[in-house]
Amino acid sequence: MPSAQSVAIAGGGIIGLTIAWRLAQLGLAVTVYDKGAPGGEASWAGAGMLAPGGEFDAISELAALALESRRLYPGFVRKLEEASRRPIDFQERGALDLAYSSAELASLESRAAAQQRLGIPSKPLTPSQVATFWPHIRKSSLAGARFYRQDAIVDPRHLVTALMEVCRKSNIILMPDCPVERVSVGGAGVRFHTSQGVSDCDFAVIAAGAWSSSLDVEGVPALPRCEPVRGHLIAYQQPAHTCETIVRHGHTYLLQRANGLLIAGASAERVGFVRDIDPSAVGALASEASFVFPHLAETSPAETWVGFRPLSDSVHLGAWHSPRLLLAYGHYRNGILLAPVTAARIAAAVNASSRTQ
């Protein structure tokens, strides 16, 4: 690959920064534009679940990508820690799905059978096994559970810090507070019009999460629509080992970071980019959190926040009507999980285009 080739990336979240790092490793000159602080949106808000067991129960392109990316994660984290010299809270301890009625247990079991066919293993646990290994969990009415050993968590804020450091070491230019106003795609290259001027590059990547399709792009058909789905999360400061694995019940998940923060998420609301905290969503999460961990009823969440998931008709990973324009958005609930596989796909697309030019 000629080293003179350049790429501009719209969006400096975990997806955009991971792509930037990967393309810099291939020898491209990389610039990343972000409308605010890199990693300041979904990458900051996400709980950091790397958990196909909680997300997929049917064959789909997204499920296959998620499983592939989960396999890539240990190497991704190891290389990122080595290159950045920043610690990353990455816990491969599995996930526990709880059932508090026979109907919930039947539903867990039929879901697990479907997941087994996808390559997502889980095993049943009895209430007494749950009580032994998860002593803080509600025992009353517990009908059973399943354990997903391959599910894991990562602290997305650690990923952002480490990625920004490797970007700096790789001479990637980061342009914070620099919204991309227009992208003009031509046969010979791509022009980025930003709040700080115009620049030309060989390739452009759109990795702006829920904001991706609001970019004004000319020279190709309109980008696939992407809309925000707001999620509320809450967190409690708790003693270490309160929640050793991901714990799920119904639509709620709980996990504990190495720094003690026990996070419960998440709502799903199609309200546009409204950042207001909705007390009823917080109340519903707190109520579910204290259902699973009864001692939390004695305490209020220390933090509440919202983030915007990027929902599209599918995940978009690759060229859009020009080998010079690549899309990397639509990851919805799994952007943090899908970052390594997304970067690999975008790097492969850039490599293939470079060879044909």
Nearer to ligand GLY by C-beta: 41 or 202?
41
The answer, yes or no, to whether the previous bond of 266 is cis (omega within 30 of 0) is yes
Each residue 107-126 as x (binds ligand GLY by CB under 6 A) or -, in order, gives --------------------
Q: What number of helices (H) and strands (E) belong to the chain?
A: 9, 21
Nearer to ligand GLY by C-beta: 146 or 333?
333
Footprint on residues 271-310 left by ligand GLY (CB under 6 A): 309
Footprint on residues 216-235 left by ligand GLY (CB under 6 A): 231
Residue 127 engages ligand GLY in binding (rule: CB under 6 A)? no
Least distance in angstroms from the C-beta of 229 to ligand GLY: 8
Q: How far from 77 is each of 54, 110, 220, 348, CA to CA, in Å?
A: 21, 33, 36, 20
Nearer to ligand GLY by C-beta: 24 or 229?
229
Nearer to ligand GLY by C-beta: 47 or 286?
47
Alpha-carbon distance of 301 to 211, in angstroms, equals 29
Least distance in angstroms from the C-beta of 77 to ligand GLY: 18
Least distance in angstroms from the C-beta of 353 to ligand GLY: 31
Which residues neighbour 282 within 8 Å (Cβ) at sequence distance 6 or greater?
Answer: 232, 234, 301, 304
Alpha-carbon distance of 9 to 102, in angstroms, equals 50
Least distance in angstroms from the C-beta of 283 to ligand GLY: 18
Least distance in angstroms from the C-beta of 333 to ligand GLY: 4
Least distance in angstroms from the C-beta of 49 to ligand GLY: 5
Footprint on residues 306-335 left by ligand GLY (CB under 6 A): 309, 333
Least distance in angstroms from the C-beta of 54 to ligand GLY: 8
Which residues neighbour 12 within 8 Å (Cβ) at sequence distance 6 or greater?
Answer: 20, 32, 33, 34, 38, 39, 174, 176
Alpha-carbon distance of 154 to 4, in angstroms, equals 35
Nearer to ligand GLY by C-beta: 232 or 345?
232
Which residues neighbour 279 within 8 Å (Cβ) at sequence distance 6 or greater?
Answer: none
Residue 265 engages ligand GLY in binding (rule: CB under 6 A)? yes
Each residue 43-82 as x (binds ligand GLY by CB under 6 A) or -, in order, gives ----x-x---------------------------------
Least distance in angstroms from the C-beta of 311 to ligand GLY: 10
Strands 216-218 and 180-185: parallel
Alpha-carbon distance of 341 to 18, in angstroms, equals 10
Alpha-carbon distance of 283 to 233, in angstroms, equals 11
Q: Which of 9, 288, 342, 355 is nearest to 174 (CA)?
A: 9
Alpha-carbon distance of 121 to 354, in angstroms, equals 40
Nearer to ligand GLY by C-beta: 324 or 331?
331
Judged by the rule CB under 6 A, the positions of this chain that interact with ligand GLY are: 47, 49, 231, 265-266, 309, 333
